[in-house]
Each structure stands twice: as structure tokens, then as C-alpha cells.
Homo-oligomer: A and B are copies of this chain.
Amino acid sequence: MNTLWNDRFASRTDLIGSSAIRELLKITSLPDVISFAGGLPAPEVFPIERFKEAAEVVLTEMGDRALQYGTTEGYQPLREMIAKNASKYGINITADHVLITTGSQQALDLLGKILINRGDRILVESPTYLGALQAWNAYGVKYITIPYDDDGMQIDLLESRLRRGIKFIYVLPNFQNPTGVTLSRERRIKLVELANAYGVPIIEDDPYGQLRYEGNHIEPVVVLDDQCNTSGEPAYNGNVIYTSTFSKTLAPGLRLAWVIAPPEVITKLVQAKQGADLNTSTLNQFLAYEVANGPWMDTHIKTIRDTYKERRDVMLNALEEYMPDGVHWTRPKGGLFLWVTLPEGLNSSHLFPTAIEKRVAFVPGTSFHPLGGGENTMRLNFSCMRPELIVEGIKRLSEVFKQNL
């Protein structure tokens, strides 16, 4: 028998490829490596005791429902809680506009499935979130990119790109992955104005919005879309699909996120999700609701903020102290990542093996550039390592750079 599996795979599998980061993480998760490579929350802030109490309550009082199949839309009390919390941030919606997804990676996949025809052009920041690229590559997209500066995507370059015909705009306005930069309020307003003018929808990916360590909250794009919408329709009939997650505020192991979208988009997403995994884990939805409902959550998020702010500051100070001239980095006001730019001519991928030898890891920046480039850049995560390890890791990294400058 000849098992010619390689001849059997669909043509789209040539487009998918493997996530460089997830492959990389296998190397960098060796116990003595100081890893700035992952995007992991700090396990020290997982509310383990509260999860234990929640598991006891959920399994005792509603175990028969928590272990059963659930509706594709999601656990109704959780949808209502999310709708209520969203309204705190000015996103005025009901539970009907919320779909629970199996992590926001699934949200991105389902949005690709319902929106992308092969060959469609999508506008993304460059660099941008690798998971979005990986989800959408399978649908045969073409990427149009827009560069960033300290205020996020360079909005003055947007209109020329919209003229080329864009299916949707993908933006991470808060503490972007991978750069850590935040889209300014002025640019958000300009973004929604232009998107509306050209009839191009926006996907707003906001996993880190609640993790701000300094400065004032800026309204999400979905809210600003509502404000500039002169027809008086509410935002949830608007032009923006918003997604966020419990991965950074509760625990990524739950695989729980949500999409906020107009009803007709929710309907299509539900149909696509039925075919993708029927429903998100009922047990995890019940647990998340039990854990996150009520005033405890605000206190918990404050703890996370305090922890990550300290680590960010430690990393910024260490960079300042140890990095040689010519190395630059962003100064994020929140989130999990900062972005380092080496002098032109240095290639971070080439430095990676030396870094691993010195037991320190990062993600080379090229992965985040859908059309190539960024050879002299890298992403550093500051949420996952304890402060003393951050200092030591940055010291080691600076030695790698100095050897190659």
C-alpha cells in the first residue's frame, strides 16, 4: 500500500504553514532559559483559589448542566455579563450581540471563514498579531500593510490603501501585539471616519484593553464608530466587529473569548461555529462566570496591572541600563509586549541561536511582518518572567547584541 498523504492535502494547506512562535516556544520553554518569547500571562496572578471555589460551586449546584452540551451562542449569563461589562466601556449592547468563542483565535478563524473569499485584500498593521495571519492565511487572503509609529498605525497612509479595495481592516488599538504601541484617540476617529466613508468594516482586536499601566483609557474603535455615526444607529449595528478574551484577565487555559458584532454577523458566526466545535466548553463558561461575576474581578485586574506594570518598568530600566547605543525599543503603556529595533544590518533571527546559548529567548520580528521585513526587530514579553529574571535576561541579551555590533 502506498499512503500518498502528501498528495492528498488540500491546496490551502500550502498557505497555512506553522506558527513560528509556537514551534519556537518548544525550544524556549527549557527550564533554565529566561524566555521573553511567549505571550504568556504570569501564572502567579492566576486566581487558583477562586477557581477551586468556583469548581466546587459549579459542579455541586449545576454539574449536570456544566458537563452537558450547550448552545453555540454561549452560556447566557456569561453573555449578559460581558454585555454589561462592555457597556462600562461605552459599548452599548445586549447579550444578543455577544458570541462566546473558544479563545479569540477561534474568533479570528470564524471571522475569516465568514468574511474572506480567496484573493480578498485585508489591511493589517505591519508588524501585526501572528495568530491573525495564521488564521486567515488558510482562506487565501492578500495582505495590504500599514506601518506604525508611537501613536499606532500611520493613519495618514490609510486612505491610499483603502482606495485599493480592502475587505476589512484589522487593528489592535491597545498595546498592540507585537509592538506595544497604542492607537491615539485622534487616529481612531480618523480610522472610523475613513472606514465608514469607504464602506470597509473594521475588526478591532482588544485582548489587552484592561491592562493599562499609565495614561487614560481611550474609547475603543467600536465606540468611536458609534459617535461618528450620524444616522443614529447603535454601534452594534455599526461597522466594527470587536473581540476580546478572558485569556489575559482570568486564564488562557480556559480558551474563552468573545465577539461583539451586529446581529447578522453573529448569526453567520454561530453557523460557522456549529461546524467548527458545536459550542465552547460549557464547564469553562460556567467557571468563568462564577469566577468573574461581581466586584472581585476589578480587584483582580488591578492586581494583574500592578504585577505587569512592575515588570514592564523593570524591563524598561534594564534596557536603559544595559543596551548598547543604536538599540531602540517601544515604551508601552500597557499590555504584555515591547518591541526592540536593532541597528540596520543586524538580523535578530541570526542572533537567536547565540541568545539561546546564553539561555535567553525572544521572538525574531520577521514572523510578524506579513510581507517580509523587520529583520532587525524582535518582540520581548515582560509579563511572564519574575523581575530578577527580567534584569538578568536583558543583561544577557545586551551581551549578545554587543558581541555583534
- A283 near B251: Cβ-Cβ < 8 Å: yes
- Contact partner of A55 (CB less than 8 A), chosen from B52, B199, B281, is B52
Cα–Cα distance between A43 and B102 once the two chains are bound (Å): 23
- Bound state CA distance, A22 and B280, in angstroms? 14
Contacting pair A109 B276 (CB below 8 A): yes
Q: How far is the CA of A9 from the CA of B139 in the complex (A)?
A: 13
Within 1-56 of A, Cβ neighbours of B (below 8 Å) are at 1-6, 8-13, 16-19, 22, 26, 38, 40-41, 43-44, 46, 48, 51-52, 55-56
Name A268's contact: one of B9, B22, B233 (CB within 8 Å). Answer: B9
B114 touches A9 (CB 8 A): yes
What sequence of 0s and 1s flags, for each residue 228-267 of chain A, a beta carbon within 8 Å of any chain B beta carbon?
0111010001110000000100011111000000101100
In whole angstroms, how far apart are the Cα atoms of A262 and B3 in the complex? 9
A294 within 8 A of B: no
Are A254 and B281 interface neighbours, CB within 8 A? yes
Known contacts being A5-B262, A281-B281, is A22 close to B199, with CB within 8 Å? no
Residues of B within 8 A of A335 (CB): none
Which chain B residues lie closer than 8 Å to A94 at the CB level?
Answer: none
Do B229 and A1 have beta carbons less than 8 Å apart? yes
With A and B bound together, what is the CA distance between A44 and B63 in angstroms? Answer: 10
User: Across the interface, do A131 and B278 meet the contact criterion of CB distance under 8 Å?
Assistant: yes
Given A1-B233, A63-B46, A63-B51, check contact A279 B255 (CB 8 Å): yes
| Cβ of A157 to closest chain B Cβ, rounded Å | 23
Contacts of A87 in B (CB 8 A): none
Q: Could you mark each residue 370-404 of chain A with 1 if its beta carbon is under 8 Å from any beta carbon of chain B, else 0? A: 00000000000000000000000000000000000
User: Do the beta carbons of A22 and B55 come within 8 Å of each other?
Assistant: no
Instruction: Judge if A351 is at the interface, Cβ distance under 8 Å.
Output: no
10 A-B pairs with least C-beta separation = A43-B64, A67-B251, A253-B282, A55-B55, A48-B63, A67-B253, A134-B275, A135-B275, A253-B283, A255-B281
With A43-B65, A48-B63, A55-B59 known, 16 other A-B pairs at CB within 8 A are A2-B199, A3-B237, A5-B201, A5-B262, A8-B168, A9-B114, A10-B139, A16-B275, A22-B274, A51-B59, A51-B63, A56-B56, A68-B251, A69-B252, A102-B255, A255-B278
**5 contacts across the A-B interface (CB closer than 8 A):** A16-B272, A22-B71, A46-B68, A105-B276, A134-B275
Binding site for B on A (CB under 8 A): 1-6, 8-13, 16-19, 22, 26, 38, 40-41, 43-44, 46, 48, 51-52, 55-56, 59-60, 63-72, 102-103, 105-106, 109, 113-117, 120, 131, 134-135, 137-139, 167-168, 196, 199, 201, 229-231, 233, 237-239, 247, 251-255, 262, 264-265, 268, 270-272, 274-284
